[in-house]
Amino acid sequence: MTSNRYRISADIGGTFTDIVYQDRESGVCGAAKILSTPDNPALAVIEGINSAVPADAEIDFFVHGTTVGLNALLTRRGAKVALLTTEKFRDIYTIQGNDRGEIFSIRWNKPEPLAALEDTFTVRERIAADGEVVTPLNTDDLDRLVEATRQNGYEAIAICLLFAFRNPEHELAAEAYLSERLPGVSIAVSHRVSPEWREFDRTSTTVMDGYLAPVVRHYLETLVGELSHRLPSDQGLHVMESNGGVMSAASASRTPLQTLLSGPVGGAIGGRALAEKTGRKNLICVDMGGTSFDASLVIDGLPSASTETKLEGLPVQMTVVDIHVIGAGGGSIAWTEAGAARVGPQSAGSKPGPACYGLGGTEPTVSDANLVLGRLDGANFSGGDMTLHRDLAEKAIGAMGATFGMNAQEMAQGIIDIINAKMADAIRTITIRRGIDPRDFSLVAFGGAGPAQAAALAEELEIGEVIVPVHPGAFSAWGMLQTDVRHDFKETLYGFWDQIEVDDLDKRFTKLEADGRTYLAEEGIGDAAIAFERSADFRYHGQEYVLTIAIPSGPIDMAATRAAFDRAYDRQYGHSSPEGRVEIANLRVAAIGRLERPENADPETGEASPPRSRMVYFSGREQETVIVDRGGLAAGSVTPGPAIIEEGTATTLVPPGWRAEVIVGGHLSVTRAENAQ
């Protein structure tokens, strides 16, 4: 019995838009994939919702991940932004930091700033490092910026004044002065965007927020307008955040920077829920869609995260789930260079798409290669909603193969081998290069193309188990339904840890928590559903970089916190200095708003289709392979390879010598047959 009330999530990708819907009463989830509509992403979302739930259904929660902000940054199609900073500090953003990036490369250049030097303006003012006003703000200096904005058409202004994180008085006054004279121009101020030390990093973060704000706000306004007839009026639409939480569309408009990695993060949060359900605490999560390959880690049940990142070489001060992204997906185009075959990062996208889509694409892609090898069913792709044309795929692959003296099947296998090598190397980047052994992890494969490549990746990396979760092609969207509202608050507090007063520390944490409580109340979160997570940044005296250490709520145990830092340092670097002095740099509070959601029900099994098989290529040899419908697999059932397990959102390949078992939660565990218990 269904309640006709749904929770819905949407992951808007470069090729497909994934929809996951959960019935409020039964907890059962379903999924759908729709070709994305790049010109207006809302159209694909609306089409997906209409195909997934009844027209009269009530949607009481909707969350989506978007790459609009990230794409605007990557393609440099953000707003025209001006930067305002303190007089005599105009060059901070242009000079950048002292990190040379690729220190041994003679071709390395500093990343191109989002606001050029000619777009940077100064104002006479000065706040001291302790927050005292040294020189009052001279608002007359702002008139030049007002005039330049009118003449040059600046769409946004980023204000980053010296030590504003200590005292925001001058930034607030400048914001008020400019807002009154420049209505409609977006203004970002550093003490709201990132109240944290390090002038270049804070400036970079604020400029990026200003650069993206008009683009993200326009997108959200359009999406809200398009979906208004299907969503509740109060806090109806939510957006996934880079930190793994969600926020309302109104909050996303105020803090657009937080949406930068909102699409890929859903998979990492889904990995956390899967770790809890299956008892596998260490996971390598890989999302292979149509355009990109995203890799992340779940360690001891929690997604790996950091308090800063770099995008396009520019630093960003915000909490992010660690995700490594490369251009490798089902739509990745195979091409030749200097007599060698290459695959990606260029993608055929959704229009025209791979050659096999029959939408005008002629270049060979990974999806074409899988179809030529018999690994995809052209008549049952995406649950039968799309028909793939094998003749078009063979024509595209065969034309490329002719240049290497290969037939279509040999060339297709070569394309698959190349893309697998690229993805394996991406996984090594987040594991082996950080001193982590991937063999200690299970590989979670999702995305529309991930389960078809997962066993080969596991072979390459000597990983013993692959988990293919429920609704793998829409798993990132599924993960978005497993999270809560979250906002991060921080304050710079610098000093020796053994000289910090516990009472002062507690007062500062309490103030940050009060700010978080107020913010969550504006998001419609009741007081009983609010929780906080405290942490702080530490380093040994004389060092530059910090580690973030959790601090339990309640009375602060200074010695236990110090010991926790020593242990974390030893895990990270292989040694520690318990006798050395420790400095604190920043305080952090994550304000969590718990959302009500039903328990995920195990997928309902249906009637299995009659047994069938087809010839599929494995390691260059054609073998008869059983074809299984995942919806007909009961809990505990085992499918030996070679086999192909088909479902609406993805195809799972079980090679010879492997087996697939349905485990708790309806997930698939794919292991080498000799390793099976």
Contact 475, 446 (CB under 8 A): yes
Does 299 have pLDDT greater than 50? yes
Residue 290: which of 245, 359, 344, 232 has the closest Cα?
344
CA–CA separation, 316 and 310 (whole Å): 6
Percent of the chain with pLDDT over 70: 97
Does 310 have pLDDT greater than 90? no
Q: State the pLDDT at residue 292.
A: 80
Mean pLDDT of 386-401: 91
Q: State the pLDDT at residue 677.
A: 45
- Taking only the tens place, the pLDDT of each residue in 407-426 is 999 999 999 999 999 999 99
Mean pLDDT of 466-484: 92
Is residue 75 very low, low, confident or very high in pLDDT (cuts 50, 70, 90)? confident
Residue 240: which of 220, 210, 225, 212 has the closest Cα?
220
Which SS3 state, helix, strand or coil, does residue 321 take? Answer: strand
Q: Kind and range of the H or E element at 325?
A: strand 324-326
The number of helices, as runs of H, and strands, as runs of E, in the chain is 16, 35
Q: Are strands 246-248 and 324-326 parallel, antiparallel or unpaired?
A: unpaired
DSSP 8-state code for residue 342? E
Amino acid at 291: T
Is residue 1 very low, low, confident or very high in pLDDT (cuts 50, 70, 90)? very low
Whether the link from the prior residue into 352 is cis, omega within 30° of 0, is: yes
Determine the distance from the C-alpha atom of residue 333 to the mean position of all C-alpha atoms in its chain, rounded to a whole number. Answer: 23
DSSP 8-state code for residue 350? T
Give whichever of 65-74, 427-436, 457-466 has the largest mean pLDDT. 457-466
Residue 448: which of 392, 397, 375, 499 has the closest Cα?
375
Residue 242's DSSP bridge partners are none
Whether the link from the prior residue into 345 is cis, omega within 30° of 0, is: yes
Domains of the chain listed by start with CATH number: 77-217 (no CATH), 332-417 (no CATH), 485-593 (3.30.1490)
Q: State the pLDDT at residue 329.
A: 83
CA–CA separation, 337 and 340 (whole Å): 5
Which pairs with CB-CB distance under 8 Å and at least 24 residues apart come from 50-57?
A: 51/19, 52/8, 52/19, 52/21, 53/6, 53/8, 53/21, 54/4, 56/4, 57/4, 57/5, 57/6
Does 676 have pLDDT greater than 60? no
Residue 667: which of 285, 296, 292, 290 has the closest Cα?
285
The single residue listed with the structure tokens 């007089």 is: 87
CA–CA separation, 33 and 17 (whole Å): 6
Residue 18's DSSP bridge partners are 11, 33
Residue 655: which of 456, 518, 370 has the closest Cα?
456
Coarse DSSP helix, strand, coil percentages of the chain, rounded to the nearest 5 percent: 35, 30, 35
The CA–CA distances, whole Å, from 23 to 58, 151, 338, 481 equal 10, 53, 54, 12
Mean pLDDT of 100-117: 86
Contact 24, 40 (CB under 8 A): no
Does 14 have pLDDT greater than 50? yes
Q: What is the dihedral of CA 521, 523, 524, 529, to 10 degrees?
A: -70
Angle between helices 199-227 and 41-52 (to 10 degrees): 50
Which residues are CB-contacts of 224 (< 8 A; sequence separation ≥ 6)? 231, 237, 249
User: Which string of DSSP letters, residue by residue, matches 542-589?
Assistant: T-S--EEEEE-SSS--HHHHHHHHHHHHHHHHS---TTS-EEEEEEEE
Order of strands across the sheet with 5-12?
Answer: 29-35, 16-23, 5-12, 58-65, 237-240, 246-248, 485-496, 582-593, 530-540, 547-551
Residue 640: which of 625, 622, 618 has the closest Cα?
625
DSSP 8-state code for residue 618? E
Residue 332: which of 651, 15, 653 has the closest Cα?
15
Does 501 have pLDDT greater than 70? yes
